[in-house]
């Protein structure tokens, strides 16, 4: 068994613009606790009316959000720990020879209650957070961390699993069972099972301290992001913004607790990005950009000392486990295997991307000078002149595109692609309880059978962190009676809310985000794995982004656009002329897009290849790293260190490169689809059965080769990004 701690940020999920597509990374926390602390039972009065202790009489046994209160979490977490400890104790005290059936299977399915509670709590800390949830997290996260360490360092349990691992050839195990045994055994080794006793106490301290620091880091970013608003009174100062953008800014001001102007702009992406692209007032662009890019560097929400401490603790942890640095500890469990392989791939893309970025910068510098500014191009100028040139060069801007990309229409297009590829249909079910009034719940139907439930949470609110991500309230697996347990998937976005009778209208980037996150969802929806540890998206970090990035390719295929892209007012189908413009501009600005992404990936690696305890100074460390790779001053890393949640409060430490690593796979895969026909049934079935259904039941490269017939080439990536 394993407990999925959905630790405070994700993925995480896709990285164009400032999307945190941080798929909401699930970090494996296979858990138990010291037997002396396990035997104490909770006060029965705390559990008698606790919904986590009852059968969920909801459709498909989804969480009864309308019945769950803050007071229910901690008692249920403690009871879940106690129940799991009983199972672990029974495994350890069993006098029979350890086997797969009497050791691995009960361990795999242990902790069901704990997993049930934690999945709800940790998901909601990201999208329905408040002060009480933060305080609960301060208690619950360290509790779960200690629980994990107690398991990983349980000598009796590890010894039994090791015996099964060493004797596996004597049992008639199928390939999926062998894979499960390997993943569990390797998880114990990586969790510290082999470290000397004299270092175990310090190892526990490190893990608990890291968990607290990463939680604090994420809370600081959320606090700093919500703490800043740019108010503007004079509409003349906002020349260049469209009527829709002004309306959205007025709505933001009205909803502010203490409005100080008619218009309000925040550093949340749906507000900031259009402002930087369109506002002609350079001073205001500078003010908003500075607030965004300096978040958490100083002041109340500073993350400087937290970054330094996390970095040093990770070095110490890796070296206790026998690795020279944290990057090689992480990568040993990924497709990349080591830091050298990561740097090698990143630099193959960095060199042509930087050259293209320099060409773009020279063009924008001339435009800046022509507008009467004598200074050098700044980061707060880039988006403005990139958008201006895009309009001139391709006669294309967001105002042309958005009316055809209402959220409802884009969703219909997404569902159309899923039906054409995999035969899936989607039906909203308003009887399924949701955790917020903005959330919609859908049944996913395959051959007249409901195979998954998907929540879709589209709009920003103060209780939700920025970005977009996918996660689970429940994984797909087969229970011990052989019954298929369907997944309950959650998709979270931060799209612009509807205003009046105007629906939420997406731009190109946001539409791709929708497809990206749904690619993650399909990896979970279509999973057909027997064991939760191997199910769905529980694959190596540099493989997990492959299905999501693969789905992005379909969003603007002409055949797909003609299905869903209808004008929200007139119902007019998107004209061929506009489709041609979108496709012509699809590789525009790739120098910037790739350079800021790769800069963040390299910065991540630079933090995690350090081998000795250090006293990092910010922004000096980051500035030095960026100067060494030649990053031009008018571009910054996609995420600056103090708000780089992926690596300091999420699951992507020494793993941000994975978007590029996975991009090699997804571009190669889509090239294959293009050769066969994008909706070719045989190719789609092969992708579904060899990749989406298989989870982590085999080595990731084996899964890819089974689909593709060969290892991937980097050439489609370079070509599609106009870098070759």
Active site amino acids: 517
- Alpha-carbon torsion angle 662, 673, 703, 654, nearest 10: 0
Using CA atoms, how far apart are residues 194 and 220, in angstroms rounded to an integer?
Answer: 35
Residue 49 neighbours by CB under 8 Å, 6+ apart:
none
Residue 441 pairs in a beta bridge with 455
- Token pair recorded at residue 326: 């944290």
The closest alpha carbon to 23, from 655, 630, 706, belongs to 655
By the 8 A CB rule, do 660 and 349 touch? Answer: yes
Using CA atoms, how far apart are residues 515 and 520, in angstroms rounded to an integer?
Answer: 9
Give the number of other CB atoms < 10 A from CB of residue 712.
22
SS3 content of the chain, % helix, strand, coil (to 5): 55, 10, 35
Using CA atoms, how far apart are residues 435 and 438, in angstroms rounded to an integer?
Answer: 9
Antiparallel, parallel or unpaired: β 469-474 and 488-492: antiparallel
34 phi/psi in degrees, rounded to 5: -60, 135
27 phi/psi in degrees, rounded to 5: -100, 125
Give how far Cα 115 sits from Cα of 109, 473, 578, Å: 10, 9, 48
- Token pair recorded at residue 108: 């795999």
Q: How far apart are the first and last CA of the chain?
A: 46
Using CA atoms, how far apart are residues 601 and 587, in angstroms rounded to an integer?
Answer: 21
Whether a cis peptide bond, with omega within 30° of 0, leads into 62 is no
- CA 666 from centroid of its chain's CA atoms: 17
Ramachandran quadrant class, 201 (left: phi over 0; alpha: psi -120 to 50; beta: rest): alpha
197 phi/psi in degrees, rounded to 5: -60, -35
- Token pair recorded at residue 44: 């029965």
- Token pair recorded at residue 663: 């991009």
For residue 433, the 8-state DSSP code is -
Give the number of other CB atoms < 10 A from CB of residue 71.
13
Burial class of 243 by CB neighbour count within 10 A (0 to 12, 13 to 18, 19+): exposed
Using CA atoms, how far apart are residues 162 and 236, in angstroms rounded to an integer?
Answer: 71
Using CA atoms, how far apart are residues 222 and 266, in angstroms rounded to an integer?
Answer: 12
Residue 194 neighbours by CB under 8 Å, 6+ apart:
none
By the 8 A CB rule, do 19 and 269 touch? Answer: yes
Residue 171 neighbours by CB under 8 Å, 6+ apart:
99, 100, 164
- Token pair recorded at residue 669: 């895969």
The closest alpha carbon to 336, from 655, 13, 17, 685, belongs to 655
Residue 449 pairs in a beta bridge with 446
Between CA 64 and CA 71, with CA 69 as vertex, the angle to 5 degrees is 135
């Amino acid at each position: 068994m394993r407990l999925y701690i959905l630790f405070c940020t994700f993925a995480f999920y896709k990285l164009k613009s400032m999307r945190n597509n941080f798929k909401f990374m699930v970090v494996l926390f296979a858990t138990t606790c010291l037997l002396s602390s396990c035997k104490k039972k909770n006060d029965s009065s705390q559990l008698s009316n606790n919904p986590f202790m009852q059968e969920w009489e909801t459709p498909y046994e989804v969480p009864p959000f309308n019945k769950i209160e803050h007071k229910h979490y901690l008692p249920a977490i403690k009871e879940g720990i106690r129940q799991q400890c009983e199972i672990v104790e029974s495994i350890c005290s069993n006098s029979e020879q350890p086997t797969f059936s009497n050791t691995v299977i009960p361990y795999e399915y242990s902790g069901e209650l704990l997993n049930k509670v934690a999945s709800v709590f940790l998901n909601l800390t990201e999208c329905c957070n408040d002060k009480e949830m933060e305080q609960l997290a301060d208690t619950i996260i360290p509790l779960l961390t200690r629980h994990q360490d107690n398991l990983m360092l349980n000598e009796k349990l590890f010894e039994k699993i090791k015996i099964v691992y060493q004797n596996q050839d004597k049992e008639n195990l199928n390939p999926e069972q062998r894979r499960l045994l390997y993943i569990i055994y390797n998880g114990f080794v990586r969790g510290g099972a082999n470290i000397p006793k004299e270092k175990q106490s310090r190892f526990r301290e490190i893990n608990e301290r890291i968990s607290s620091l990463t939680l604090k880091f994420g809370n600081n970013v959320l606090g700093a992001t919500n703490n800043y608003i740019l108010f503007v009174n004079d509409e003349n100062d906002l020349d260049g913004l469209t009527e829709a953008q002004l309306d959205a800014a007025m709505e933001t001001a009205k909803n502010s607790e203490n409005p100080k102007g008619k218009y309000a702009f925040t550093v949340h992406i749906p507000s900031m990005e259009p402002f930087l692209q369109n506002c002609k007032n350079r001073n205001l662009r500078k003010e908003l950009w500075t607030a965004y890019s300096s978040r958490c560097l100083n002041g109340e929400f500073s993350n400087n000392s937290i970054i330094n401490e996390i970095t040093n603790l990770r070095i110490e942890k890796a070296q206790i486990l026998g690795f020279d640095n944290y990057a090689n500890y992480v990568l040993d469990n990924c497709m990349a295997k080591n830091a050298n392989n990561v740097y090698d791939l990143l630099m193959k893309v960095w060199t042509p991307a930087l050259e293209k970025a320099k060409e773009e910068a020279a063009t924008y510098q001339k435009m800046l000078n022509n507008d009467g500014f004598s200074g050098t191009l700044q980061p707060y100028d880039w988006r403005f002149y990139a958008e201006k040139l895009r309009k001139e060069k391709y006669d294309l801007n967001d105002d042309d595109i958005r009316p055809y990309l209402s959220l409802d229409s884009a969703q219909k297009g997404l569902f159309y692609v899923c039906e054409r590829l995999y035969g899936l249909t989607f039906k909203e079910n308003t009887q399924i309880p949701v955790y917020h009034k903005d959330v919609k719940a859908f049944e996913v139907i395959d051959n007249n059978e409901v195979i998954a439930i998907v929540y879709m949470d589209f709009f920003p609110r103060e209780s939700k962190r920025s970005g977009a991500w996918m996660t689970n309230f429940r994984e797909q697996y087969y229970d011990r009676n052989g019954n298929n347990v369907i997944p309950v998937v959650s998709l979270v976005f931060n799209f612009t809310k509807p205003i009046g009778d105007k629906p939420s209208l997406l731009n190109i980037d946001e539409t791709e985000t929708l497809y990206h996150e749904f690619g993650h969802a399909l990896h979970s929806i279509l999973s057909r794995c027997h064991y939760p540890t191997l199910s769905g998206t529980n694959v190596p970090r540099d493989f997990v982004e492959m299905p999501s990035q693969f789905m992005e390719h379909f969003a603007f295929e002409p055949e797909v656009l003609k299905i869903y892209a209808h004008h929200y007012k007139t119902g007019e189908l998107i004209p061929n002329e506009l489709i041609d413009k979108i496709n012509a501009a699809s590789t525009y600005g790739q120098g910037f897009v790739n350079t800021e992404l790769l800069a963040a990936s390299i910065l991540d690696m630079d933090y995690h290849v350090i081998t000795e305890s250090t006293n990092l100074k910010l922004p000096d460390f980051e500035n030095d790293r960026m100067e060494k790779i030649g990053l031009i001053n008018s571009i910054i890393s996609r995420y600056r260190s103090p708000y780089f949640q992926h690596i300091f409060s999420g699951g992507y430490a020494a793993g941000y490169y994975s978007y590029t690593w996975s991009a090699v796979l997804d571009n190669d895969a889509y090239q294959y689809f293009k050769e066969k026909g994008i909706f070719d049934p045989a190719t789609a079935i092969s992708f579904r059965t060899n990749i989406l259904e298989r989870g982590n039941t085999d080595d990731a490269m084996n899964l890819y080769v089974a689909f593709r017939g060969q290892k991937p080439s980097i050439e489609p990536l370079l070509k599609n990004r106009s870098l070759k």
